[in-house]
């Protein structure tokens, strides 16, 4: 398929554990975004990349959250020492241009017990 | 930074009636305003968008209006159908590409 792919679709972990969420954007899309969505809320901005560099990481809640995109394509969102409040759906989106249509993945649902 | 507020949070309409959702934004540099529809358990998908050099845009039963002076934009759905039931999100971004989303409107179309 040619859409945005996110893995895993579901992740259950224990408090204090480390988690990695992966996003494979649409081929050729230079902009890649991470959002977090809690039940009944709108997507909350975390970080976005233009190419390999983080253009804006002001939405990352604290230093437990980190994201990389080393080759300008696949991105990984890393969460250290997970807390119950981190439970949410993590959405990835990609775009051909930074003010173009966002194409979202199906999301990774993270549950921290 | 940009702040987007969206109202109402829920909207119940009779099939065939119109639905209107309103959003306000704070950053006068914002110049692109998309609307996304999210069905239960699915990904958000773009339904219509508008740029700051245009006041209104229409696509079949859906239209969006933008008032730059007042910093608000609205989604209008006419002749609503059951398949329009979903959560709708507005968003705003400036030329730097940081999209901020509203909190969403749950639209329920009753037959």
User: Does the pLDDT of residue B89 top 90, yes or no?
Assistant: yes
Q: SS3 breakdown of chain A: % helix, strand, coil, rounded to 5?
A: 5, 50, 50
- Candidates B43, B47, B42, B45; CA nearest to B57 is B47
Q: Establish if A91 touches chain B: CB-CB under 8 angstroms.
A: yes
Q: What is the pLDDT of residues A13-72, one digit of tens each?
A: 999 999 999 999 999 999 999 999 998 899 999 999 998 998 899 999 999 999 999 999
A47 vs chain B: nearest CA distance in angstroms?
9
pLDDT at B41: 87
The partner residue sitting opposite A98, judged by closest CB among B1, B43, B97, is B97
> Coil, helix or strand for A86?
helix
The partner residue sitting opposite A42, judged by closest CB among B96, B97, B102, is B102
Q: Calculate the average pLDDT of chain B.
A: 95
Q: A-B interface: how many C-beta pairs under 8 angstroms?
A: 58
pLDDT at B15: 98
A99 or A21, which is more confident: A21
User: Does the pLDDT of residue B1 top 80, yes or no?
Assistant: no
User: Does the pLDDT of residue A98 top 80, yes or no?
Assistant: no
Angstrom distance (rounded) from CA A62 to CA B67: 36
Q: Establish if A95 touches chain B: CB-CB under 8 angstroms.
A: yes
With bands split at pLDDT 50, 70 and 90, how would you rate the model's confidence at B109? very high
Mean pLDDT over residues B47-55, rounded?
92
The partner residue sitting opposite A99, judged by closest CB among B1, B46, B93, is B93
pLDDT at B95: 80
Mean pLDDT over residues B54-60, rounded?
94
pLDDT at A1: 53
Contact status, residue B76 vs residue B23, Cβ threshold 8 Å: no
């Amino acid at each position: 398929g040619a859409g945005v792919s996110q893995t895993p679709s579901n992740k259950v972990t224990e408090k204090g554990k480390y988690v990695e969420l992966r996003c494979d954007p649409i081929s050729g899309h230079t902009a890649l975004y991470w959002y977090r969505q809690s039940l009944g809320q709108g997507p909350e901005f975390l970080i976005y990349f233009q190419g390999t560099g983080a253009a804006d990481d002001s939405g990352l809640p604290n230093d437990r959250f980190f994201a990389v995109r080393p080759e300008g394509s696949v991105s990984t969102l890393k969460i250290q020492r997970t807390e119950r409040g981190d439970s949410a759906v993590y959405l990835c989106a990609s775009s051909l241009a930074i003010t173009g249509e966002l194409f979202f993945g199906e999301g990774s649902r993270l549950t921290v017990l | 930074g940009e702040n987007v507020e969206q109202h109402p949070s829920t909207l119940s309409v009779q099939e065939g009636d119109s639905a209107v959702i309103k959003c306000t934004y704070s950053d006068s540099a914002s110049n692109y305003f998309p609307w996304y529809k999210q069905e239960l358990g699915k990904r958000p998908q773009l339904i219509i968008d508008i740029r700051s050099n245009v006041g209104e845009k229409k696509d079949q039963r859906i239209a969006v209006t933008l008032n730059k002076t007042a910093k608000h934009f609205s989604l209008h759905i006419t002749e609503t159908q059951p398949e329009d039931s979903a959560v709708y999100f507005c968003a705003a971004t400036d030329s730097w590409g940081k999209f901020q989303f509203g909190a969403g409107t749950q639209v329920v179309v009753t037959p």
